[in-house]
Amino acid sequence: MAFSLWSFATKWYDLKPMAIMGDNYRCLHSPSRDFAPFLKPKSSFSSSILSLSVTRKLPRKTFQVNSVSVPTESVAGFDEMVSGTQRKYYMLGGKGGVGKTSCAASLAVKFANNGHPTLVVSTDPAHSLSDSFAQDLTGGRLVPVEGPISPLFALEINPEQAREEFRSASKSNGGTGVKDFMDGMGLGLIADQLGELKLGELLDTPPPGLDEAIAISKVIQFLESQEYNIFTRIIFDTAPTGHTLRLLSLPDFLDASIGKILKLRQKISSATSAIKSVFGQEENRPDSADKLEKLRERMIKVRELFRDTNSTEFVIVTIPTVMAINESSRLSASLRKESVPVKRLVVNQVLPASASDCKFCAMKRKDQTRALSMIESDPELSNLTMIQAPLVDVEIRGVPALQFLGDMIWK
Ligand SMILES: Nc1ncnc2c1ncn2[C@@H]1O[C@H](COP(=O)(O)OP(=O)(O)OP(=O)(O)O)[C@@H](O)[C@H]1O
């Protein structure tokens, strides 16, 4: 007896709408059967599902065919992604819910199984890495992921915790706590300026963009801190599009803002020295201009990293729906404007081929085919290497499942 949503629905819910879905899904070749034998039951609930699923192992070729032709001789396959020990950064982004986390986690597992000590970082304030790896990764620090051959660590940047620390830091020691906290994040230079400009009090309510600033501070740490030296692949599971674009443009914005502050300071300082020289006072210049200049250099480094085609790649993840593809097109245009390198487009959740489509699947397939053809005619997307990933009929959770998904996507 093979597992399908049909059996799941009738066994657990006895819901008619699910039964319709189940009937429709039954007509698919289910890729999930292939990885089911590797899954470890987590509870009696899942083990009863798995006992239904391990019965038949289909040969892989059964579900390799997709509804729309894929550029299989892709210009850049996984071989290119895995080659070299120089560190590479991969950022996976797209519309909410399309499978960014699943794709990012599966890529991380694949890299780690191919000899790369890998770090996967979630910059999405609504993390789902823990769910994806079926492991508790909360706490805002590096956590080892069990399973892959080479070391794989995950980090969920915890903006809520950071915000909370920020709030209490800005209250403690008349504002000096802000500096301690920001020092801890590698943003001490900003804190100096905040202290000087007496902005500490204003930061009781964290400013918009703090999540992105925290993520940037992590990138700075990856670049500069010894702790991260071992990682040859760093993958970012990014937040949905809007957040991510803010993250990518923040270094530019900060660089420009710092430039303006520096100019302003220069003007003020020459006016002040003129006054001071009139009154014969000794000039006592703080070194904060230097610090600002250093901060600016760091922002330039991050900005260059985001644009470096040798070390960085942004992978757009989408699903075959008109709405998701339109958003991906806009994302691609924005990334191009920001000069962020993009080569690949993962189209996730494509219905696997079936010899006998039911009415629901036939409709769905038609819809997906139309959406996929939009990609081919979209000026922002058509030049990207398209990778199709099939929709599977169980949730992708845990390293074995991610390994299975990764082997289908990253080839
Ligand atoms: N190819 C697939 N087949 C079946 N289910 C999938 C597939 N890819 C992802 N999913 C499921 O879709 C859901 C959303 O996936 P995921 O969390 O990876 O998306 P996301 O884009 O990161 O979401 P968010 O924007 O909310 O962070 C999860 O339940 C995941 O297991």
Active site residues: 124
By most ligand atoms within 8 Å of CB, the mutation choice from 106, 396, 410 for ligand 1 is 396
Whose Cα sits closest to atom 10 in ligand 1?
99
Question: What is the rounded CA–CA span in Å between residue 217 and residue 251?
Answer: 10
By most ligand atoms within 8 Å of CB, the mutation choice from 128, 129, 327 for ligand 1 is 128
Question: What is the rounded CA–CA span in Å between residue 250 and residue 84?
Answer: 29
Q: pLDDT digit string (tens) for 264-297?
A: 666 666 666 665 655 555 555 555 566 667 667 7
Contact 318, 374 (CB under 8 A): no
Q: Is the pLDDT of residue 186 over 70?
A: no
- Confidence band for 139, pLDDT divided at 50, 70 and 90: confident
Whose Cα sits closest to atom 26 in ligand 1?
97
Q: Is the pLDDT of residue 17 over 50?
A: no
- Confidence band for 225, pLDDT divided at 50, 70 and 90: confident
Question: What is the rounded CA–CA span in Å between residue 261 and residue 208?
Answer: 20
Predicted complex ipTM: 0.98
Centre of ligand 1 to C-alpha 98, Å, is 6
Q: pLDDT digit string (tens) for 73-124?
A: 444 699 999 999 999 999 999 999 999 999 999 999 999 999 999 999 987 7
Centre of ligand 1 to C-alpha 63, Å, is 19
240 Cα nearest atom in ligand 1: 25
389 Cα nearest atom in ligand 1: 1
Question: What is the rounded CA–CA span in Å between residue 34 and residue 320?
Answer: 24
Centre of ligand 1 to C-alpha 224, Å, is 32
SS (H, E, C) the chain: CCCCHHHHHHHHHCCHHHHHHHHHHHCCCCCHHHHHHHCCCCCHHHHHHHHHHCCCCCCHHHHCCECCCCCCCCCCCHHHHHCCCCCEEEEEECCCCCCHHHHHHHHHHHHHHCCCCEEEEECCCCCCHHHHHCCCCCCCCCEECCCCCCCEEEEECCHHHHHHHHHHHHHHHHHHHHHHHHHHCCCHHHHHHHHHCCCHHHHHCCCCCHHHHHHHHHHHHHHHCHHHCCCCEEEEECCCHHHHHHHHHHHHHHHHHHHHHHHHHHHHHHHHHHHHHHHCCCCCCCCHHHHHHHHHHHHHHHHHHHHCCCCEEEEEEECCCHHHHHHHHHHHHHHHHCCCCEEEEEEEEECECCCCCCHHHHHHHHHHHHHHHHHHHCCCCCCCEEEEEECCCCCCCCHHHHHHHHHHHCC
Q: What are phi and psi of 312, to 5 degrees?
A: -130, 140
Give the pLDDT of residue 397.
96
Pocket of ligand 1 (CB under 6 A): 96-102, 124, 128, 240, 348-349, 389, 391-392, 395-396
Centre of ligand 1 to C-alpha 190, Å, is 36
Contact 85, 150 (CB under 8 A): no
Radius of gyration of the chain (CA): 25
Whose Cα sits closest to atom 8 in ligand 1?
99
Q: Is the pLDDT of residue 72 over 80?
A: no
Please state which of the ranges 68-82, 100-114, 153-167, 350-364 shows the lowest mean pLDDT. Answer: 68-82
pTM of the shown model = 0.71
- Confidence band for 403, pLDDT divided at 50, 70 and 90: very high
390 Cα nearest atom in ligand 1: 1
Mean of all residue pLDDT scores within the chain: 72
396 Cα nearest atom in ligand 1: 31
By most ligand atoms within 8 Å of CB, the mutation choice from 101, 131, 350 for ligand 1 is 101
Q: What are phi and psi of 218, to 5 degrees?
A: -65, -40
Sequence-separated contacts (24+) of 191-198 with Cβ below 8 Å: 192/288, 192/291, 193/261, 193/288, 193/291, 193/292, 193/295, 196/286, 196/288
Centre of ligand 1 to C-alpha 340, Å, is 24
Whose Cα sits closest to atom 19 in ligand 1?
99
Centre of ligand 1 to C-alpha 343, Å, is 21
Q: pLDDT digit string (tens) for 44-66?
A: 333 332 222 222 232 333 323 23
CA torsion sign for 64, 67, 73, 79 is: negative
393 Cα nearest atom in ligand 1: 4
